[in-house]
Amino acid sequence: MVEALAEARAAAEAGEVPVGAVVVVDGVVVARRGNERERTGDPTAHAEVLALRDAAAALGDRRLRDATLVVTLEPCPMCAGAAWAAQVGRIVFGAADPRAGATGSLYNVAADVRLNHTSEVTAGVGAEEAAALLTAFFASRRDGGGGASSPGGEPAGRHPGATG
Ligand SMILES: [Zn+2]
């Protein structure tokens, strides 16, 4: 999580909503990415999706059953879906996202036994720092930074749609 938080901080410095993700296999970080939606103009450029793509490329295997996806903010429906598609063994996240979270808050894609793959989920790891990064980011935007999306002026940490 320390490394995912570092990715989140780097994303914030680049003007992105601060969300970071790493993929770990056998205790080794095989991929690390931050949210890149603003820089790329790509609505799917969430940290988790980017990190899963990198991990699959690095490992030469689209199936990541032995991998743990570590992310600073609860995955949105798209990213929980990406973790499902990659058959990720475990998901560890920091701050819960009551507006878009799909691994426990609104949905639990990772634990839905109707799907043909489920992942173990651990919530709340490094949650305070992850949430503090989001709070600081959106506070700075309100102070005149402009630019990044905080739809409807959502309170920090509860942003949605702005998930990473
Ligand atoms: Zn996402």
Q: Around ion ligand 1, which residues have CB less than 5 A away? A: 46, 76, 78-79, 163
CA of 135 to the centre of ligand 1 (A): 18
Residue type at 108 in one-letter notation: N
* CA–CA distance, 133 with 136 (Å, rounded to integer): 5
Please answer whether residues 8 and 72 qualify as being in contact, where contact means their C-beta atoms are separated by less than 8 angstroms.
yes
73-126 per-position pLDDT tens digit: 999 999 999 999 999 999 999 999 999 999 999 999 999 999 999 999 999 999
CA of 61 to the centre of ligand 1 (A): 22
Structure tokens at 164: 């990473």
CA of 79 to the centre of ligand 1 (A): 4
Closest to 18 (Cα-Cα) out of 94, 101, 89, 117: 94
CA of 82 to the centre of ligand 1 (A): 9
Q: Please count the other Cβ atoms lying within 10 Å of the Cβ belonging to residue 107.
A: 17
CA of 45 to the centre of ligand 1 (A): 8
**Phi and psi angles of residue 35, each rounded to the nearest 5 degrees, phi first:** -60, 135
- Is 120 marked active-site? no
User: Of the listed 3, 48, 128, 154, which one is catalytic?
Assistant: 48
Residues 6 or more apart in contact with residue 90 via CB below 8 angstroms = 67, 68, 69, 119, 120, 121, 122
Instruction: Reply yes or no on whether the pLDDT at 151 is more than 50.
Output: no
130-139 per-position pLDDT tens digit: 999 999 999 9
